[in-house]
Structure 1
Amino acid sequence: MSIDLRAINLRKLNSLTKYPSIPTHHALDPKNGGLLEEPTVYEGTVIGTEKVDGTNGRIILLPGGDWLIGSREDLLTASGDVVHNPALGIVDALRAVAERAATLGAGGFGEILVLYVEVYGSKQLPAWKQYGSGQPAYRLFDVAAVPDYMLSWEIERIASWRQGGGQEFASEWVLADLAKQCGVELTPRLFEIDGRDIPSSVEDMRGFLEAYKATSVATSGEPGLNEGVVLRAPDRSVISKARFQDYDRTLKRRKSASKSRQAAQQSGEAS
């Protein structure tokens, strides 16, 4: 069974295939945006991958061979389009991948397959200097399958399903196999560790992350800094992100607050 690209509701398709926000590894304090001493709990093996500092792109593969490319929020082009939205260089980077993946029949019977790809290194992106001279590149970081019957749902139901964590993502093994089939590299796998060995405190976690600060996907020149590390269970049942800026900001705020308390205490003692 194929899906006629011209006959479907693109608003629904866009909502069905958006990528959800990954929770921070330590919970965010709603009062000030800092990190709390409440880490994500993992049981068993945890895979750490580089959080490449770019922009999210989507390749949506429909049963029958049609495809679309989107940013995190919007659809940018589709198979057969002559003119596309050039936003952030996503289409230019991913068009060949979409065309190649579509020939594999990756959007199977009754199933919409979505490849989530980090596009980075382009001069259109803020962190491009961390990766080289401005040459755009990309890495696959997740894959989800969506039943095509969900296109018949109301848009509000789709949004509720997605926001409630309804999407089903591929396990590490399936993800690696699909990447090989599509000729796309995964975001770098940095380590495998027992969940019990991940530091529990904010300060210790920041120290743990330091070894992974330099990017391993620079396209030219000396490697710059990446955004952080994504931690995930092999079956993708648990996932969290640890960004350097979150830890640095939190520890800086704590240090500043500690100095203020000490100054206030000394002032009180002097008086």
Structure 2
Amino acid sequence: MSGLNASLGYFLACVIFAASFRALLRKWPRFSFMLEFASSFMLVGCWLEVQTIVEVGQWAGGLGPDVTVTILFVLLLTHGIICGGASGNPNLVLLKFLQLEATTLPTLLAVAAQFLGAHLALLAAAFYWGLELTDMHMIKNLMARQCSSSLLVSLLQGFFTECVCALIFHLVHLSVRRRSALIRVPLIAVLLTFLSQIASGYTSAYVNPSLAYGLTFHCPGFTLKEYAVVYWLGPITGMMLALILYMGHIPRIFARNLLYFQKTRFRVPKGDKGEKKKM
């Protein structure tokens, strides 16, 4: 249990950092895009520790799959509550841009902040593992440079897996984004946990380019371009397909509705009706 207690302390530290950073930025609304930095830092930092429990905890700390699934769900639920509108997901920022809900500069700044948060979370996690507070973290520290890639299939299978999972995720997100947070946040947390478990033998279904960058891009086995095809191009393709299926078009690219045709309604003037009756 000492390993789990250390992990819970680490999770709590990440949550406190994100919440404090969020409260601090309320005084500087111009830097609101940095909320994405805190959101990405918390998500990647905590998920790295979940990944550690999955890889090492089962035989070094006696932590089974039920523990990791529960921790992952609680992590995603807490992230949704603490970070609010800051998703930590470049795809969701790009989605707003494609829907004409955001302009170019804020979109670029938010995406850059997300990748910066992911990179710093990776460095923070490596420092935490280096402390070797438990046997689990000591083993993880030894394995850090030779980590296991989350991509366990071919590039084509990986691209297809991330694309389909992103398609499902964004269709659900588009359907519930206007709903109350009491419904939206738990539903998204359950969906992401489910997708992660279903695709654990393929790509882990991160459906988040900055999350994938922090969790698996530094692992050997594939090149940066190959990882980008699966974890960046795959989710973006799935997101654009979801937008087309949901709205019928992508507003930023073209206005014409490709799927849904609206019937035009013609109103006949009253004068014309009167003339028809006389005839």
TM class, shorter-length:
under 0.3
Give the structure with the larger strand fraction.
Answer: 1
* TM-score, with structure 1 as normaliser: 0.25
Q: Which of the pair has more CA radius of gyration? A: 2
Report which structure shows greater RCO (CA 8 Å, sep ≥6). 1
Give the structure with the larger helix fraction.
Answer: 2
* TM-score, with structure 2 as normaliser: 0.24
